[in-house]
Chains A and B, each alone.
Chain A
Amino acid sequence: MTFFDASLLRSGEYHDWLVQGFTTSLQLLAASFVIALPLGVAIALMRTSHGRALRGLGATLVEGIRNVPLLAHLLFWYFAFPELLPEPVKLALYDSNPEFICAVIALSLYAGVHMAEDIRSGIRAVPGAQMEAARSLGLGRLASLRLVLLPQAIRIAVPPLLSQTVNLWKDTSVATVIGAAEMMYQAARVETATFRSVEAFTFATLAYLTVSLAISLAAQLYARRFPVRT
C-alpha cells in the first residue's frame, strides 16, 4: 500500500464521487450567494433607514442569526423547520432535494446577515453630504439611494464582501451535517469506503484552497483597480 495513491483521484468511482462533491459545493455557494447578497442589501438598508421599527427589525435579524453557529441553523432548518410547514408543502420538499434546499436556506441567511454588516459599514462610510446633495438636486429618496449612495457604498464594500464570500465557500462544508452531498461529505464517504484518508482529504483541501485563493485574489485585484475614492 503506497502512502499516496494518485490514481484514486484521477479516475474511477471515487474520482466521480469527489468531483460530484466539488460541483455540489460550488452549486451551494452559487445558490446561497445569489440569495444572500440581495438579502444583505435589504437588511443593510433597513438598518440605516429612518424608521425605528425597520431599524429594530434589521438589528434583531442580524444579532439573532449571527450569534448562533451555522451548525445550529442547519440542524434547525433541516430537522425542525419542515415540521412547521403545511403537509403538501412538506411532502413537496421531501420529494425534491431537502438537504440541498435546507442548506441553501441556512447558508444564505447566515451569509446574508454578515454581508449586511459589510454593506452597512460601506453605507456609513459615504459622507452624509452626498445624500443631502442628491436630495437637493431634486432626486427622490429611493432615486438618491439607487443612483448616488449605493454605488459608492458598494464600491467600498466589495473587498469585505468578497472575503465574506470566502467564508460562505468554507461554510458550505458544514452542510455535511444534514447529509448534503457536498465536498466534505463525499471526501468522508471515500475515506469510509477505501480507508484512503490522505487522498480524499488532499483532494478536498486542494479544492477548497483553489476556490478560496481565487476569490481572495479577485478581492486584491479589485482593491487595486478600484481604490476607494476619498
Chain B
Amino acid sequence: MIELIHDYWLYFLVGQYPNGPLGGLTLTILLSSAALVLAMPLGLLLGVARVSPWRAVRWPTAVLVQIVRAVPLLLVVFWAYFFLPAVTGVKTGQATTMLMTLVLFDAVYLAEIVAAGIRSLPKGQLEGARSLGLSYGQALRLVILPQALRHVLPSLVSQLVATIKATSLGYIIGLSEVSFIATQVNTLVFTRAVEVYIVLALTYFMLCFGLSRLAFLLERRMNRRPVSAFATKVTP
C-alpha cells in the first residue's frame, strides 16, 4: 500500500494537472466547497419561502423541495448532463454539470435546514420584531435569520460532508474526481484492487470524519452557550 501511495500520490491528489484538467482529491474538495457556497444564497431564499406566510410562495417551494428530495441525485445528474447542452446549445463539461446539479441539490437541502432553523425560534421573535415597526423583510434579515443561522451551523457542516460524498457520483459521467482517479489507478496496477479501494475509502473517511467531528464540537459548544434570546440576563 505504501508503494502504491508513493507511486501515485500526485495523480491521486490533482489528476493530470498541469498537463490536463484538474482532478483527484483537489477537484473533489473544490467542487463540494464551491457547490455549498453557491447554493447558500439560493438555499436561504428557498428556506425563507418555505416558511413564508403566503401560500402562493410556500406551496410551489414545498413541491420543488419534495420532488428534488424524492429522486436520486444520480438521476438529476443525468437530466442535467443531457439537457443543459440541448437547452443552452453549449456543450457543458462534466465539472460544470456536476457543479450545477450539486448547487440545486444543496440549495434544496439547505432550504430545509434554514426552514428548520427558523421554525425552531420562538414565535415571539417575529412578532416582537414586527411590533417594533420592522417590515417582514427587515424582521427576517435583522432578527430571525441571524439567530436561525447560528442554530443550524452544525447542520451546514454536515451538509458539506454530504456534498463531498455526493461529488463521487460525478464518476458516472466521467468527472475526474478522486473515485474516478482511483479506478484509473486500479486499471494501471491491475491486481491490487483491495489496496487501491482501501486507500480511496480511507481518504474519504479522514476528510468526512474530520468534518463531522467539527460539526459535533460546534453542536456541543452551541448547546452550552444558549442563544441570546433565552439568555437575557436580568440585571438587578
Genuine A/B complex: yes
Give A residues with C-beta under 8 Å from B: 63-64, 66-73, 75-76, 79-81, 83-84, 166, 170-174, 176-177, 184, 187-188, 191, 197, 201, 204-205, 208-209, 212-213, 216
Identity of the chain B residue whose Cβ is nearest the Cβ of A211 in the assembled complex: B70
| Chain A CB within 8 A of B29 CB | no
Whether A208 pairs with B169 at a CB distance below 8 angstroms is no
Whether B70 pairs with A216 at a CB distance below 8 angstroms is yes
**The 7 nearest A-B residue pairs measured at CB:** A212-B70, A69-B165, A67-B208, A173-B72, A170-B72, A71-B168, A69-B168
- Knowing A63-B209, A69-B166, A70-B165 touch, does A184 contact B193 (C-beta < 8 A)? no
| Chain A CB within 8 A of B90 CB | no
Identity of the chain B residue whose Cβ is nearest the Cβ of A84 in the assembled complex: B194
Whether B74 pairs with A75 at a CB distance below 8 angstroms is no
Whether B204 pairs with A79 at a CB distance below 8 angstroms is no
Inter-chain residue pair count (beta carbon < 8 A):
105
- Knowing A71-B169, A72-B204, A75-B182 touch, does A173 contact B74 (C-beta < 8 A)? yes
Interface residues of B in 185-236 (CB under 8 A from A): 186, 193-194, 196-198, 200-201, 204-205, 208-209, 212
CA distance A209 to B201 in the complex (A): 31
Which of B161, B166, B169: most chain A CB closer than 10 A?
B169
- Knowing A71-B179, A75-B179, A177-B171 touch, does A184 contact B72 (C-beta < 8 A)? yes
CA distance A166 to B69 in the complex (A): 9
Whether B172 pairs with A176 at a CB distance below 8 angstroms is yes
- Knowing A64-B205, A76-B201 touch, does A69 contact B74 (C-beta < 8 A)? no
CA distance A70 to B179 in the complex (A): 11
CA distance A59 to B38 in the complex (A): 34
| Chain A CB within 8 A of B56 CB | no
Whether B197 pairs with A72 at a CB distance below 8 angstroms is yes
Q: Closest CB-CB distance, B146 to chain A, in whole Å?
A: 29
**Residues on B with beta carbons closer than 8 Å to the beta carbon of A81:** 194
**Residues on B with beta carbons closer than 8 Å to the beta carbon of A64:** 205
Interface 9-mer from B75-83, B125-133, B134-142? B75-83
| Chain A CB within 8 A of B2 CB | no
**Residues on B with beta carbons closer than 8 Å to the beta carbon of A73:** 201
CA distance A172 to B71 in the complex (A): 11
Whether A71 pairs with B209 at a CB distance below 8 angstroms is no
**Residues on B with beta carbons closer than 8 Å to the beta carbon of A172:** 72
B71, B83, B204: the one within 8 Å of A69 (CB) = B204
A63, A70, A177, A201: the one within 8 Å of B75 (CB) = A201
Whether A201 pairs with B204 at a CB distance below 8 angstroms is no
- Knowing A67-B204, A67-B208, A68-B205 touch, does A75 contact B183 (C-beta < 8 A)? yes
B70, B83, B168: the one within 8 Å of A72 (CB) = B168
Whether A79 pairs with B75 at a CB distance below 8 angstroms is no
CA distance A197 to B79 in the complex (A): 8
**Residues on A with beta carbons closer than 8 Å to the beta carbon of B74:** 173-174, 176, 184
Whether A208 pairs with B82 at a CB distance below 8 angstroms is no
CA distance A73 to B182 in the complex (A): 13
CA distance A174 to B165 in the complex (A): 12
Identity of the chain B residue whose Cβ is nearest the Cβ of A195 in the assembled complex: B82
- Knowing A69-B179, A79-B186 touch, does A184 contact B75 (C-beta < 8 A)? yes
Identity of the chain B residue whose Cβ is nearest the Cβ of A216 in the assembled complex: B70
**Residues on A with beta carbons closer than 8 Å to the beta carbon of B116:** none
**Residues on B with beta carbons closer than 8 Å to the beta carbon of A67:** 161, 204-205, 208-209, 212
CA distance A201 to B71 in the complex (A): 11
Which of A69, A83, A172, A204: most chain B CB closer than 10 A?
A69
Whether B200 pairs with A72 at a CB distance below 8 angstroms is yes
Interchain Cβ contacts under 8 Å between A and B, 12 examples: A67-B161, A68-B205, A69-B166, A70-B168, A71-B171, A75-B182, A75-B197, A79-B193, A80-B197, A184-B72, A187-B78, A213-B66
A72, A84, A166: the one within 8 Å of B179 (CB) = A72
Which of A68, A176, A197: most chain B CB closer than 10 A?
A68
